[in-house]
Amino acid sequence: MNRLCMLAVTTALALLPQMATAAEKTLTVGVSDALSGGGAVYGEPQRRAINLAIEQINAGGGVHVGEDTYKLKTIEYDDKADPTEATNVARKLIDRDGVKFLMGYCCSASTGAVASIIGREDVIMLVGTAGARAITAAGNDNVFRTRPPGDYSGAAAGRFIASKGVKRLGVLATRDVALFTQYRDALIEAFEAEGGEVVALETFGGQDRDMSAQLTKLRGLEPDGYFISGYVEQVAFAYRQAYELGITAPRYGFSGGSAEQFLSVASSEALEGVWDLIAIEFNADALGDTAKAYAKAYEERWDAYPTPNSAFAYDQVYVLRDALEAAGTVELDDVKKALRNLAVPEETVLEYLPVDGKMFDPKGQAYISNGAFQFHNDKWDFVTKLPSDSAAYSAYFQTITK
Amino acid sequence: MLVDLIQQLFNGLVIGSIYTLVALGLTIIFGILGIAHFAHGSVAMFGGYLTFFFIQQFGIGLFPAMAVAMAVGALLGVVLERVAYHPVRNAPPINAFIIALGLTLIIEKANLLVFGVDQVIIPTGFDRVFNIGGVTLPELRVYILGIAAFLVVAMTILINRTWMGMAVRAVAQNRPAAILMGINVNTVSMFVFGLSSALGVAAGVLVGALFAVAPGVSGGLVVKGFAVLILGGLGSIPGAIIGGLVLGVSEAFASAFVSSAYKDVIAFLLMIGVLLIKPEGLMRRRSNR
């Protein structure tokens, strides 16, 4: 009997560490995003959305990978939307922290810099809001992005502006962010293909907040519509200054900022009637119940309403969870394979348009619908979806590398 | 066409008046103490944040908040002079140069720590837009021109019509002779830093009201300020006034008649042009010292 007891105790003691190990397995995710500076309006909401999704997944029992269950945790760094800083952060996460999964990445220039070196690294990079085409067009097999490239939305926007009866368009756009220049070029091409004329293309730089001179010049050319694109803070200043200059023609834009972000710069009167033509990022009216539940959870957790771009990052976490569970291992090659064959996870907020039934196309690019939103009574109203053909764009996307 | 021309002139004068305020602060320090005070832009941002804080916390108006912030800014300037620059007054110029760079980082990071990363727009309530013959004049921009003009006139009177102003000019013209005449150079240094920082704060407030106070803005301000200095003449007060306005108007006209892509290049082209033709600057006589 004593020997039996001893055997039972010994067996129990031998099993304990294994049980403890299984219960305590943690998978660390590296988050690199703009948490200060101009890009923070996109980066900080992404960081919050990632943490929200992780808390939800952990509260729901974690990620079931084969026999193991993992709890997720993050290591977070501020890349300031700066290419050098973002590259340093990536090196720190990979070399010092030993992280295998990177996510966040709101801004094109910084993300592009990391994407250019990441193909040589044993990691998987999940990109959020950064929309420069080359990030996924380069074809690294370890880069996956939830946001579609800028030109995918730009062409749809150009056709939409022409369909509203605009014949002469004045364009004011940021000149040094690939997402916006690619969107702008695709918009101009589509608009001109519909018979429209661009009266002038004016630009502004990354730190500019005074576009009065450019708007005055455009006003003098008397266009019957304006297109303004760039980061939300700059675009909001442009709308404010357009209002001060007495510009009343329809104003179309591409920035993806929340109503609160716009109103912190420009008055209701200056923004009334402005259009935002974007891939349908988070919008509770346009996306329905899942989006409403996300907004509620985000608001409860962070005491702030989610910004439109934040859902790109929220969805990244569920993408990673499903890929890990489908792979049944945390080995990178298996997870990459699982990502390539992944169906759209149930919990994702955005409305993805799968290509051949898969969330990501062969270059790791996902697509969502495009939509037209109009500012009315201090909020963005969803007006209509813009015709978007993800399969056709993806076929074209496979032929380019930048 | 004429309407657009006048509109661009107005746009340029408003921006130019802010450049002038920044450059005035830089030029009096450089002219009198020979220090390239790179931290001036960070001090300006500090003033903008402080004004926003006063308005939000105490519900006071823009002008009283700005006046208090300028007073605090002047005090900060005196502290910077005493703590950072005074100890190296007899050291090689490179020491003051490195201290200026260090101060820039310290004040910039302190702003981030105290006021956070978000951009701040100073509320003014000046939302009306006047329209005169098709030229639109936003109320806030008109006030900015007025405030800048008032500060320039006040500073000119202070420098030209007061005993302290006379002492400042004496030190600027011939420091050893001023000391021999019994002028306390230490007091003049502190006064100059106080005055410069107060002007910098005023510029920061105007930037914060018209655009925003945010991390990263100060660098651009200082670059433009130094461009104005070279344009108008290092250490020249009339040069800073004229140079600032010339730069602002040139940028606006460059956007209108050349290309907005080259707006910022204009500042540096002007600098190069002036250095080639009149190396001492637009408003400075050739030195015979």
Contact A216 B7 (CB under 8 A): yes
Is the minimum CB–CB distance between B220 and chain A shorter than 8 Å? yes
Instruction: Clarify whether residues A256 and A392 are in a common domain.
Output: yes
Instruction: Clarify whether residues A116 and A206 are in a common domain.
Output: no
Q: For residue B277, what pLDDT is reported?
A: 86
Residue A132, domain extent: 10-149+288-369
What does the pLDDT look like over A166-184, one tens digit per residue?
A: 999 999 999 888 889 989 9
Instruction: Clarify whether residues A61 and A14 are in a common domain.
Output: yes
On chain B, the residues whose CB falls within 8 A of the CB of A267 are 127
**pLDDT higher than 60, residue B220:** yes
What does the pLDDT look like over A315-335, one tens digit per residue?
A: 999 999 999 999 999 999 999
**Residue A16 pLDDT class (50, 70, 90 cuts):** very low
- Cα four-point dihedral sign A351, A356, A357, A360: negative
Instruction: Clarify whether residues A251 and A353 are in a common domain.
Output: no
Any domain includes A1: no
Contact A35 B117 (CB under 8 A): yes
Any domain includes A2: no
| Cα–Cα distance measured from residue B57 to residue B23, given in angstroms and rounded to the nearest whole number | 31
Q: How many domains does chain A have?
A: 2
Strands B129-132 and B135-138: antiparallel
Alpha helices in chain B (DSSP H): 2-33, 40-58, 62-80, 93-115, 139-161, 163-173, 175-180, 185-210, 217-232, 237-257, 263-277
Is the minimum CB–CB distance between A260 and chain B shorter than 8 Å? no
Any domain includes A387: yes
| Ranges A69-83, A181-195, B104-118: which has the least confidence | B104-118
**pLDDT higher than 90, residue B32:** no
Task: Kindly list the distances between the CA atom of residue B279 and the CA atoms of A102, A379, B271, in Å, as whole numbers in the listed order.
Answer: 53, 54, 9
Sheet holding A225-229, edge to edge: A197-204, A168-174, A225-229, A251-254, A275-279, A370-376, A379-386
Instruction: Clarify whether residues A257 and A359 are in a common domain.
Output: no
Any domain includes A264: yes
Instruction: Clarify whether residues A341 and A249 are in a common domain.
Output: no
Instruction: Clarify whether residues A94 and A77 are in a common domain.
Output: yes
> How many residue contacts between A and B have a Cβ separation below 8 Å?
76
**pLDDT higher than 70, residue A12:** no
Q: For residue B164, what pLDDT is reported?
A: 93
Q: Which chain A residue's Cα is nearest to B265?
A: A205
Instruction: Clarify whether residues A166 and A245 are in a common domain.
Output: yes
Instruction: Clarify whether residues A244 and A164 are in a common domain.
Output: yes
Contact B20, B228 (CB under 8 A): yes
**Residue A9 pLDDT class (50, 70, 90 cuts):** low
Is the minimum CB–CB distance between A201 and chain B shorter than 8 Å? no
Collapsing DSSP to helix, strand or coil, A171 comes out as strand
On chain B, the residues whose CB falls within 8 A of the CB of A236 are none
CATH code of the domain covering residue A72: 3.40.50.2300
Any domain includes A5: no
Instruction: Clarify whether residues A120 and A15 are in a common domain.
Output: yes
**pLDDT higher than 60, residue A23:** no
Q: Which chain B residue's Cα is nearest to A241?
A: B138
Is the minimum CB–CB distance between B56 and chain A shorter than 8 Å? no
- Interface test mutation site (partner B, options A42, A209, A232, max chain B beta carbons within 10 A): A209
On chain A, the residues whose CB falls within 8 A of the CB of B127 are 267
Q: Which chain A residue's Cα is nearest to B116?
A: A36
Task: List A373's β-bridge partners, or say none.
Answer: A276, A382
Is the minimum CB–CB distance between B15 and chain A shorter than 8 Å? yes
Q: For residue B287, what pLDDT is reported?
A: 52
Is the minimum CB–CB distance between A221 and chain B shorter than 8 Å? no
ipTM: 0.82
Any domain includes A402: no
Contact B28, B168 (CB under 8 A): yes
Which residues of A, range 150-179, sit inside 8 Å of B by Cβ?
175
Instruction: Clarify whether residues A131 and A200 are in a common domain.
Output: no
Is the minimum CB–CB distance between B126 and chain A shorter than 8 Å? no
Q: DSSP label at A387?
A: P
Q: What is the mean pLDDT of residues A266-278?
A: 93
Instruction: Clarify whether residues A220 and A98 are in a common domain.
Output: no
What does the pLDDT look like over B223-265, one tens digit per residue?
A: 889 889 888 888 788 889 999 999 999 988 888 888 888 877 8
Contact B138 A267 (CB under 8 A): no
